[in-house]
Structure 1
Amino acid sequence: MGVSTFSAAIHITPTVVKTLIKHVSRKSSKFAHGSTEEEVTDDILYDEAFNIVKSFIELGTLNTVESLQRFTNTHIISPPWASVSPVLIPLRSCNEAADRLIQWFSPDELTHVVGGERWWQVRGLDGVDAEWVADKKMLSYEKSVEERINAVSAEGRKLSDDEVDILRMDPLDKVLLYIHGGAYFWGSINTHRYQIIKYARKINGRAFAVNYRKAPQYPWPCPLQDVLAAYLYLTQPPSSALHKPIPASKIVLAGDSAGAGLAISLLVLLRDLGLPMPAGAVLISPWVDLTHSFPSVMNNIHTDIIPPHGFIHKPSVVWPVDPLKEHGRVKKSMSSPPPQPGHADTLKPRADRVGDDAGMPQTPVPSKREGLDSVDDSSGSSPSALRNTSTDQVANETSNSSSASSLPSPENEREGWQPKPPKVLMEDPSATPLELRSQIQLYATNEQLTHPLVSPVLNGSLGNLCPLYIIAGDHEALRDEIIYLAHRAAYPEKFPAREGAIKDSPRQMENIEKFREPTKVHLQVFDGMCHVLTVFTFHEAVKYAYRSIAEFVKHVTDLPAQNEEVPVFPELVKGVEAEEQTAHPREGDSGRSGVSNLLNIKSDASPLKSITPDVSFSLHAESQSAEELFEENKAATKEQIQEKIHATKIEQRQRSEAQETDDSGGSVDFSNVLMVRQRVDIHGHVRQMEVIEEVPCLQLHPDEIGLLREAPARRWHDGQQKWDEKFKSVAKRVQKKRKKHEEEYMSMLDRAKELGLRHVDSRRSTTTDGSSSRTGVGVIQDERRWGPLDLSDESPPPSAIAARRDTPDALALLRKTVYHTAPRTIRRLPKRKAKDVVKATFDPTDDPKAPPKQSVSEQQHSAELGPAHGLKIWAYLMGYFGERSSHQAKKGTKKAASGAKKVGGKFRFKALRGNRRPSTSSAMEQRKSMQQV
């Protein structure tokens, strides 16, 4: 059936009922036992929404990748109160981005790691889908805007309503460039539109959302090229764009999950290439380690929305690359060196390799890279151009007999060894290493997973970036890597990169010394929350997150240039109200801010376990708006940082004994604060995070980061084995379909050549001359463009649409290339004959007058049921309950105020009537009640 609104409703309905029953049972049990412990799942809306999202993602794994892509990339009409104007980022911006990426990669990387410089530039559309988003109330009708609209119309350009709206948005100087998430292979600007609209309204500006190409049809670095093209489109718009150039200082990057991972990779690119850096970046649950080397990936899998075995899917012509893996997907390495064609690492390390990886002196070994021209049918990785032949392997292949004698002694033969993918680091050092024979991630091949632009946590340096606001859920599987990323950026020298991941990259080694300035980071970990908590817009803590994100965006885009005296965190900016709250904290607030105790306290409990908030503050928390909560947290944050700075100064003086006076009071300069580390409870109140020494993931050695580990590999393999058995008959049909599509592909190509198709060698296609012509209805592109026929000397990943001939997506791409919009490498387009036109009328995918629909991993799909689409229903429900909870909060504030006045009046009347003073405890209760109001 595939993923659809109907199938989702059938799959999710039992989940809703089961969750309701379990919720009532759990709350009843807590009430019976008198438990006052609060959990995020005590909120029935969150409990239901969490399980609905989890159930939907599990539904996706029971279906094909294409069906999930189609459902989540369905065009949804925007709400009437928002202005959503679609645009197409043109090839000019895409080509500029490609040139920048080629400049960043070394020639060796392009050949042996990426697989070439053209295949990832192949696309079906004539650019990248994107859209401008703003609240209609913020559109400008000033005279200057009207004059510009008239001027553009006078040039002969007929403006649509959407284009007029783009011109009216131009005075909004704050721009949020949003990169959506979805594990790099699903999701779209449609799944995130309502969230983006919310951001645009709260920042009093506009948002620009980019619908980048998705894996596995368009794997890394295709999405990275598209988001870079979007950034260049904003800062260096082509002549066809309606918006004026936007200064980088007015742009803030934002993204969630995979989108946040792309955002941090984009920042690294901009920094390394010397391009203007945005004002800041908001990273929501960024996915930055595709090797799954952090503990929370295993520990938090049951408290997150991520499927238990990761993203595995029903076999289809698109994915997996090898639907039938008769010889196994994970195998024990059988020899040293491994069998040909060469894999990325040796079975066991030699002594000099162990010393090298452990940072010990070692004897130099000649280095050599080889590219093998064949594809190993037993390996799920890409062609050999994507396999990095290690120095160990080259040496072993040179002398097979000497490999055994060069191994270290058994007692320490594995100590310090950092295996390269697809080898897996075993928990038992004496065990024979496992080797992945199938691609484990859809976004990149196994050998590419440790590349710093695939797993940004492995970058040589994350210093010298713009200010970052990073948020994560305490119960999400990616929690540890997010926390580690934040600290790596803020403390580059304290958290160095793993040497084994960067030693072969001159750029990364150079960056360690070149970018040493700490990046300013605000990290917040939300108690009890799962992956991408901003999905649950109705929750109290999430509302605070939205407000905090908005304040961050407004603050960093308004910062004066070259002014180092103003803090980059809005919570530390001086203000009258905040100063008064800091100087005179309200009675009872110490329980939330934890100024003295939570900075350095050591507890026997797990430092990552959620701390239950004081029940006495529950009524107060529920009656607060997001704005009030932000202001309260702002005061608490300043108080925490101020106390920390004073404590540090006192400690330094005591050590040096240079001064005897205690000047711990007085004003504090917040402009030098590098990092704000906080936890947020389920009501949205902040407290200081544990000291670094108490956070387990921050105690990991750099050599433990970015390695394929046994537990996650076996978990994925167990799930994939179940799917292989469950869909064995489907996989066999998929193989037959692929053969049929490949025959059709070759037949189409042969027919096009008969009808006049002329294609030149791609290596001589950088210029065109007067011989370029066309005989059909299509056009030959003026802008640089590559097609699937231009890759004879390249080695794309096996899942890439550019390399495929056995999928409907590949057929549609070829048909568009040879009949409709051809690259400059095609000198003559074929002209269809009458029988070809008649034949096309019976094929809905072959319209002789219009390009065929491209892959749903790139092009938006038409809605299946119009306004009744599941994405529309979900967004409506989230918006409805969000507004309802806001209304209830305001209503609760009024009731609390009225009740407090009545209680206070009765209390004072009784006290006067009895001619006695109230007790101390009663007075404190009354004072707390009035403070809550």
Structure 2
Amino acid sequence: MPVTTASAAVHISPVVIKTFFQHGKRRAELIKAGDGFKTEEAWDDIFYDQAFHIVKAFIELGTNNTVESLQQFTNTHVPSPPWAAVSPVCIPHFSCNEAADILIDWFGPEELKCIVGGERWWQIRGLEGIDAEWIAEKENLTELRDENHPKEKLKEKDANILKMESLETVMFYVHGGGYFWGSINTHRYQLIRYARETKARIFTVNYRKAPQYPWPCPLQDVLAAYMYLVNPPPCALHKAISPSKICFAGDSAGASLCITAMAVLRDLGKPLPAGAVLISPWVDLTHSFPSIISNAQTDIIPSHGFLARPSPVWPVDPLPKGRGRVYPTHTNIPPAPGHGDTLKPSARRLETDDPTQRQELSPEQVKSQSDMLDSSAGPDLRASHPSSSASDEAHNNALLRDTNSWEPKPPKVLMKDPNAIPWEIGSQIQLYATTEQLTHPLVSPILQGSLGGLPPLYILAGDGEMLRDEVIYLAHRAAHPKEYPARSGVLESARRQKENSLKFQTPTKVHLQIYDDMCHVPTIFGFMPNIKYAYRSISEFAKYITQTDNGRLERVPFPELRQLASLPNIFDTSGSSTDRPPLSQEHRSVSSDINMFEAAEKVALEEFWEDKVDVNQAKSEVERGQVVMIRERVNIRGEVRPMEPKGEMPVLKIPPSEVGLLKEEPASKWKSGQDEWDRKFSRSAKRVEKQRQDISLKADKLVQNARQQGLVSSDAQSSDRSSTSSSSRNERRWGPLDLAGETPPPTAIAGRRDSRDALALLKKLIYHTPPITHNTIPRLKAADTLKAAFDPHDDPVRPPQQSASEQQVHARLWPMHGLRIWDGLVGYFGQKTTQRALRRTKSTGSLVNATTGQQ
């Protein structure tokens, strides 16, 4: 049963009932123990408990269905509420090609060929641009004067874009969803809330999704959206927006795309935005940090990763091939380039490692992990596997030194037992990128040569989420680039990253907050008191960095420190930090988000005041820009406290040599999950292989018929790309028939002919919107038109509906979509939580009054 509103209701309803009774049982036990009325954990709130399990159940429903089904459900158009001004726009090829030029310059010819697989396939798209939206609160818009447009009558959505010009702050939001699901529709109500609290205009983009459009397709679309803002094409209604007025924001995969896009802009000397809000950024696709295992039970993300029912789109191999999906290595040398532990093969490797001449060894001839490392073959052939034996410290240190001299690439797996035979990964494990690409710094930005030299960052994460450790590590790497260097192997294998490690040593100003008990992307649960504070804090940050002049922003990058003049009023000015009056810790059951933010400002100032001689010294250090990082934790009531010292955090003691390695435990989790799915959906997998064969025959026939019907194409010169004229940028478009000499990833829609999505793309670009290389547009035969009329996935006149990974779906029969229902539930939970808190406050007040009267 596909992912629909009905199937979601059927799947989730038992979860709601079960959670209700389990929560009641837990509360009863607490009451019996005398702690029943305390709310110390997020789980004590019935509405968080229910919402957590609803979201977790929905994601589990998605893993039991096809990728296409989940994409279609989460990319279904959801109407906006009447109080919001939502104006859809299409980012044209002009901006897309500008972004492509930026990426082509960043990669260079060698990386484009060896790592990306070419410069054309990732530029192919089914739509005539990228879906995007402007969002603002109607009450914040200013009326247009008639003399501004005396001769034209604008549509409401176009007029609203012009009315938004008066809003100074622009939040450019990039949604999450594991790179393969989610859309501007899943996040629209969150964005409307940001627009209301920030009094800003929000710009959000519906970037192309994997696996049909894998890396670097989403990155190109995010860069294109940014260029659309700062360098609008002639068709755009808005004026060029200064980068200093733009705040990037995103969650999960979207947050990772934000920081990756900023790194590309930084490297090429392009104007950077004023700053960025990163909510639970997914920055390590190799899952090399401990919390990916330790927090599996307290997060909404499946512990085995994102799996799916087999379909023509995913997985690459519906059934395990050869030795299986994960298996002990069967050779003492790394697998062939592009299929093993090297992403970019060295010249020596290309000369000496011919896969056609390789001889497989018997199991007894294969070396252990430790022996491979100690092999005399040289560091280029060694595996990075430190010993797990605590007694052999010298040997362990030697192994760690070797990890710094060699850059291991997936699918080699770091084993716990140094005497074990290393594993190899035989299947693609992430939808976003091939296994060989996972350690590329633009795929996993935690491996950037340096994260210094970026604009101010406000980074949030939940303490219970699986990505917690990589988020904390990312924040500290950015704020302290010298203390947390990149792995040596990353620098040795990439010229640009080696240059960046030396070039960008200026600390990035970072405000890091970890929310107690919360799971991945805490802002989903907007009804919780601490998340109300989060929305306020995000809004204040966005306003501050976009409305403060650059000189002051460099010195005072955080809104929490802007009230420097109030320092003498907050702390004792006697010069003794021990004599200053403590901040009030009085707990208020109900506190507005503004009050919570003001309280958080005091905590930040007190934290900064620590170890300062007097107020003047504190002011001087702030004004000189010496404040690099604010580190805090937030409890479930929205109360902020300083984070523990760095020396007490295990994640910050992880050596750089272990960051970005595929390790045994996460790989084993994925393998067990995938093995279960292979058994569960074995029949579906066999049907998928037959479907792929049938669709491939249709695609071949489509191309053959098109050539017979008059299709004539000629290869356009790559020199066309070098032209910066508006006309060339608008005209430069590629199609699936233009990929000679390129090697797209196996999931890329541009290089495939075996899925309905690929067939729809092929037909559209042949018969409706041909690329620059097509000299003619063939006409469909009458028989083909008749077939299209009876095909639910086709159309006899218009272009076929493109993949839901790119084009929004419009519901025709059932107007009440599950996404709207979820927003209604969140609103209901928020209302009930507030009412309950008010009742508790009144009860507490009555009790205090009664007690006072008795005294």
**TM-score, normalised via structure 1 length:** 0.82
Q: Does the residue aligned with 2:461 lie in a helix, a strand or coil?
A: strand
**Which piece of structure 1 moves more, 697-706 or 636-645?**
636-645
> Matches of 1:469 and 1:130 in 2, distance apart?
24
User: Which of the numbers 827, 846, 851 marks the counterpart of 1:879?
Assistant: 827
Cα displacement (A) at 1:889: 5.2
Which residue of structure 1 lines up, in the alignment, with residue 198 of structure 2?
Answer: 203
Which residue of structure 2 lines up, in the alignment, with residue 670 of structure 1?
Answer: 622
User: Which of the numbers 627, 637, 646 marks the counterpart of 2:604?
Assistant: 637
In structure 2, the gaps of 5 or more residues are 358-372, 723-727
Partner amino acid, structure 1, of 2:330:
M
> Matches of 2:484 and 2:419 in 1, distance apart?
29
User: Which of the numbers 173, 176, 183 marks the counterpart of 1:181?
Assistant: 176
> Matches of 2:27 and 2:805 in 1, distance apart?
43
User: Which of the numbers 772, 781, 785 marks the counterpart of 2:733?
Assistant: 785
> Matches of 1:24 and 1:370 in 2, distance apart?
67
Which residue of structure 2 lines up, in the alignment, with residue 382 of structure 1?
Answer: none
Corresponding position: 1:570 with 2:559 = yes
Using a 3 Å threshold, how does the CA distance of structure 1 residues 225 and 366 change in structure 2: closer, same or farther?
closer
Which residue of structure 2 lines up, in the alignment, with residue 264 of structure 1?
Answer: 259
**Which piece of structure 1 moves more, 571-580 or 480-489?**
571-580
User: Over residues 300-342 of structure 1, what are the superposed CA-to-partner deviations in whole Å (9 max), with x where a residue is unaligned?
Assistant: 0110001121101110000001001143001111112256577
Which residue of structure 2 lines up, in the alignment, with residue 603 of structure 1?
Answer: none
Partner amino acid, structure 2, of 1:856:
A
Q: How does 1:90-489 map to 2 (within 5 A)?
A: 90-141=92-143, 143=145, 146-148=146-148, 150-151=149-150, 153-154=151-152, 159-327=154-322, 328-338=324-334, 343-345=339-341, 367=348, 369=350, 416-417=402-403, 419-489=408-478
Q: Does the residue aligned with 1:822 lie in a helix, a strand or coil?
A: coil
Q: Does the residue aligned with 1:758 lie in a helix, a strand or coil?
A: coil
Which residue of structure 2 lines up, in the alignment, with residue 656 of structure 1?
Answer: none
Using a 3 Å threshold, how does the CA distance of structure 1 residues 162 and 288 change in structure 2: closer, same or farther?
same
Partner amino acid, structure 2, of 1:870:
G
Which residue of structure 1 lines up, in the alignment, with residue 31 of structure 2?
Answer: 31
> Matches of 2:447 and 2:618 in 1, distance apart?
41
Q: Does the residue aligned with 1:426 lie in a helix, a strand or coil?
A: coil
Q: Does the residue aligned with 1:178 lie in a helix, a strand or coil?
A: strand
User: Over residues 335-388 of structure 1, what are the superposed CA-to-partner deviations in whole Å (9 max), with x where a residue is unaligned?
Assistant: 122565773339xxxxxx9xxxxxxxxxxx974557999999xxxxxxxxxxxx
> Matches of 2:774 and 2:661 in 1, distance apart?
44
Which residue of structure 2 lines up, in the alignment, with residue 628 of structure 1?
Answer: 595
Partner amino acid, structure 1, of 2:740:
S
Q: How does 1:795-814 map to 2 (within 5 A)?
A: 795-814=743-762
Cα displacement (A) at 1:525: 0.4
Using a 3 Å threshold, how does the CA distance of structure 1 residues 886 and 245 change in structure 2: closer, same or farther?
farther
Using a 3 Å threshold, how does the CA distance of structure 1 residues 889 and 147 change in structure 2: closer, same or farther?
farther
Q: Does the residue aligned with 1:124 lie in a helix, a strand or coil?
A: coil
Which residue of structure 2 lines up, in the alignment, with residue 384 of structure 1?
Answer: none
> Matches of 1:420 and 1:720 in 2, distance apart?
21
Does structure 1 conserve the Cα–Cα contact (< 8 Å) formed by 2:121 and 2:734?
yes
Q: Percent identity?
A: 54
> Matches of 1:730 and 1:177 in 2, distance apart?
40
Using a 3 Å threshold, how does the CA distance of structure 1 residues 640 and 339 change in structure 2: closer, same or farther?
closer
User: Over residues 487-532 of structure 1, what are the superposed CA-to-partner deviations in whole Å (9 max), with x where a residue is unaligned?
Assistant: 0000000000011123111111001111110000000001100000
Cα displacement (A) at 1:576: 6.8
Which residue of structure 1 lines up, in the alignment, with residue 362 of structure 2?
Answer: none
Partner amino acid, structure 2, of 1:724:
D
> Matches of 1:77 and 1:579 in 2, distance apart?
50
> Matches of 2:75 and 2:615 in 1, distance apart?
59
**Which piece of structure 1 moves more, 189-198 or 574-583?**
574-583
Which residue of structure 2 lines up, in the alignment, with residue 57 of structure 1?
Answer: 59
Corresponding position: 1:838 with 2:786 = yes
Using a 3 Å threshold, how does the CA distance of structure 1 residues 519 and 340 change in structure 2: closer, same or farther?
closer
Q: Does the residue aligned with 1:676 lie in a helix, a strand or coil?
A: strand
Q: Root-mean-square deviation (CA), in Å? A: 3.3
Partner amino acid, structure 2, of 1:240:
C
Cα displacement (A) at 1:433: 0.9
Which residue of structure 1 lines up, in the alignment, with residue 715 of structure 2?
Answer: 761
Corresponding position: 1:824 with 2:772 = yes
Q: Does the residue aligned with 2:420 lie in a helix, a strand or coil?
A: coil
Cα displacement (A) at 1:173: 1.3
**Which piece of structure 1 moves more, 878-887 or 667-676?**
878-887
In structure 1, the gaps of 5 or more residues are 347-352, 354-364, 377-391, 596-613, 647-661, 769-779, 911-933
> Matches of 1:122 and 1:876 in 2, distance apart?
38
Which residue of structure 2 lines up, in the alignment, with residue 534 of structure 1?
Answer: 523
Does structure 1 conserve the Cα–Cα contact (< 8 Å) formed by 2:172 and 2:204?
yes
Does structure 1 conserve the Cα–Cα contact (< 8 Å) formed by 2:721 and 2:732?
no
Which residue of structure 2 lines up, in the alignment, with residue 602 of structure 1?
Answer: none
Corresponding position: 1:552 with 2:541 = yes
Cα displacement (A) at 1:847: 2.4
Cα displacement (A) at 1:414: 5.2
Cα displacement (A) at 1:895: 7.0
User: Which of the numbers 640, 646, 657 marks the counterpart of 1:703?
Assistant: 657
Does structure 2 conserve the Cα–Cα contact (< 8 Å) formed by 1:450 and 1:458?
yes
> Matches of 2:325 and 2:449 in 1, distance apart?
32
Partner amino acid, structure 1, of 2:541:
F
Q: Which has the larger radius of gyration?
A: 1
Which residue of structure 2 lines up, in the alignment, with residue 724 of structure 1?
Answer: 678
Q: Does the residue aligned with 2:807 lie in a helix, a strand or coil?
A: coil
User: Over residues 875-905 of structure 1, what are the superposed CA-to-partner deviations in whole Å (9 max), with x where a residue is unaligned?
Assistant: 122123324544665676677667756765x
Which residue of structure 1 lines up, in the alignment, with residue 81 of structure 2?
Answer: 79
> Matches of 1:717 and 1:576 in 2, distance apart?
57
User: Over residues 570-608 of structure 1, what are the superposed CA-to-partner deviations in whole Å (9 max), with x where a residue is unaligned?
Assistant: 1111167776344599xxxx999899xxxxxxxxxxxxx
Cα displacement (A) at 1:641: 1.0
User: Over residues 189-224 of structure 1, what are the superposed CA-to-partner deviations in whole Å (9 max), with x where a residue is unaligned?
Assistant: 000000011011111111001000000000000000
Partner amino acid, structure 2, of 1:805:
R
Does structure 1 conserve the Cα–Cα contact (< 8 Å) formed by 2:487 and 2:659?
yes
Which residue of structure 2 lines up, in the alignment, with residue 747 of structure 1?
Answer: 701
> Matches of 2:573 and 2:842 in 1, distance apart?
25
Does structure 1 conserve the Cα–Cα contact (< 8 Å) formed by 2:434 and 2:745?
yes
Cα displacement (A) at 1:109: 0.7
Using a 3 Å threshold, how does the CA distance of structure 1 residues 682 and 593 change in structure 2: closer, same or farther?
farther
Which residue of structure 2 lines up, in the alignment, with residue 3 of structure 1?
Answer: 3
> Matches of 1:742 and 1:694 in 2, distance apart?
57
Using a 3 Å threshold, how does the CA distance of structure 1 residues 440 and 593 change in structure 2: closer, same or farther?
farther
Partner amino acid, structure 2, of 1:855:
S
> Matches of 2:615 and 2:539 in 1, distance apart?
36
Cα displacement (A) at 1:738: 0.2
Partner amino acid, structure 2, of 1:698:
L
User: Over residues 704-725 of structure 1, what are the superposed CA-to-partner deviations in whole Å (9 max), with x where a residue is unaligned?
Assistant: 1000101100110010000001
Cα displacement (A) at 1:46: 0.2
Partner amino acid, structure 2, of 1:561:
N
Partner amino acid, structure 2, of 1:241:
A
Which residue of structure 2 lines up, in the alignment, with residue 45 of structure 1?
Answer: 47
Does structure 2 conserve the Cα–Cα contact (< 8 Å) formed by 1:745 and 1:811?
yes
Using a 3 Å threshold, how does the CA distance of structure 1 residues 556 and 896 change in structure 2: closer, same or farther?
farther
Cα displacement (A) at 1:851: 1.1
Cα displacement (A) at 1:636: 1.7
Cα displacement (A) at 1:82: 0.6
User: Over residues 8-35 of structure 1, what are the superposed CA-to-partner deviations in whole Å (9 max), with x where a residue is unaligned?
Assistant: 1111011101111111111111121224
Which residue of structure 1 lines up, in the alignment, with residue 368 of structure 2?
Answer: none
Cα displacement (A) at 1:93: 0.1
Does structure 1 conserve the Cα–Cα contact (< 8 Å) formed by 2:451 and 2:478?
yes
Which residue of structure 2 lines up, in the alignment, with residue 694 of structure 1?
Answer: 648
Q: Does the residue aligned with 1:68 lie in a helix, a strand or coil?
A: helix
Q: How many residues align?
A: 811
> Matches of 1:219 and 1:809 in 2, distance apart?
14
User: Over residues 151-203 of structure 1, what are the superposed CA-to-partner deviations in whole Å (9 max), with x where a residue is unaligned?
Assistant: 5x54xxx5321111111111111000000000000000000000011011111
**Which piece of structure 1 moves more, 499-508 or 709-718?**
499-508
Cα displacement (A) at 1:839: 3.1
